[in-house]
Amino acid sequence: MSGHLAVVGLGPGDARYLTPEAAEALAAAEALYGYAPYLDRVPARAAQSRHASDNREERARASAALGHAAQGARVAVVSGGDPGVFAMAAAVCEEIEAGPENWRALDIEIVPGITAMLAVAARIGAPLGHDFCALSLSDNLKPWELIERRLDAAAAAGFVIALYNPVSRARPWQFGAAIERLRRHLLPSTPVVLGRAVGRADERVNVVTLAAADAADTDMATLVIVGSRETRVIARNGRPPLVYTPRAAAEVSA
Ligand code: SAH
């Protein structure tokens, strides 16, 4: 079968964050599928069709793109950041597993991108310098109890925690509830990095403490990094602080 489907990561923001490999995959596509604001980031090309859909329609979008590729077309599905991090690559795999046999014969290519937590971390120092984990606070696809259990386990195990999808219009309370949960395990002075729209014109990165972290500081375009016991803040005169987690971990008993 000649059909080709690329799942392409656009990176967190403007074109500087798009890898040359991703740019090539986009240029080679006959059809582009994705959430409209992500498609808007891709320069228009003649003879390339565009299929915009709502952010909540991942499975339907994946299925439409696979069906199109199965007709022999060269199709690209776009994702913000990296397509494998809380995004389209897994939705495409789910559809392939559940779908018709001929979808398994397609040429599938996942093109990585810079995910939000790496872009935010780089802006402020090296908060992910030692062991870390990433969680989505969206309870659209999993129960809130599971999120709480994972927050407890991650904080108790000493991971730095990157939080994707801290809030949305439909989920206003999740970030506040997560912070309250983390306060059970972590010191009030634990550094919390709030990185908003990183890589875009309206980028904003702030460092607060766990005691001061507030849901009003976040929105759908914010990625939050909650430090571990070991994460440190270096204050600098007239410059933004550096937040980092040292390369060496403390004693096991700590
Ligand atoms: N695939 C994406 C993540 C999709 S989930 C990636 O790899 O980055 C969407 C969440 O990602 C947002 O709610 C926010 O938490 C985070 N995010 C995406 N772009 C961001 C940016 N430019 N700055 C900060 N956070 C961002």
Q: What is the pLDDT of residues 54-85, one digit of tens each?
A: 877 899 999 999 999 999 999 999 999 999 99
Amino acid, single-letter form, for residue 18: L
Instruction: Write out the H or E segment, with its range, that includes residue 207.
Output: strand 204-209
* Percent of residues, the chain, with pLDDT higher than 90: 87
Q: Report pTM.
A: 0.96
DSSP output for 99-123: S-GGGGGSEEEEE----HHHHHHHH
Q: 94 C-alpha vs ligand 1 centroid, how far in Å?
A: 21
Is residue 196 a contact partner of residue 204, using CB atoms and an 8 Å limit? yes
pLDDT for 254: 46
Per-residue pLDDT tens over the stretch 12-41: 998 999 999 999 999 999 999 999 999 999
Q: Is the CB of 205 under 6 A from ligand 1?
A: no
Q: 197 C-alpha vs ligand 1 centroid, how far in Å?
A: 8
Q: Is the CB of 221 under 6 A from ligand 1?
A: yes
pLDDT block averages, 10 residues each, the chain of length 254: 93 95 97 95 91 88 97 97 97 97 97 98 98 94 95 97 92 93 98 97 97 93 97 96 93 55
pLDDT for 169: 81
Structure tokens at 200: 């875009």
Nearest alpha carbon to residue 96 among 82, 110, 113: 110
Structure tokens at 70: 């199965």
Is residue 92 a contact partner of residue 76, using CB atoms and an 8 Å limit? no
pLDDT for 237: 94
Q: Is the CB of 11 under 6 A from ligand 1?
A: no
The SS3 of residue 163 is strand
Cα–Cα distance measured from residue 96 to residue 80, given in angstroms and rounded to the nearest whole number: 21
Q: 87 C-alpha vs ligand 1 centroid, how far in Å?
A: 10
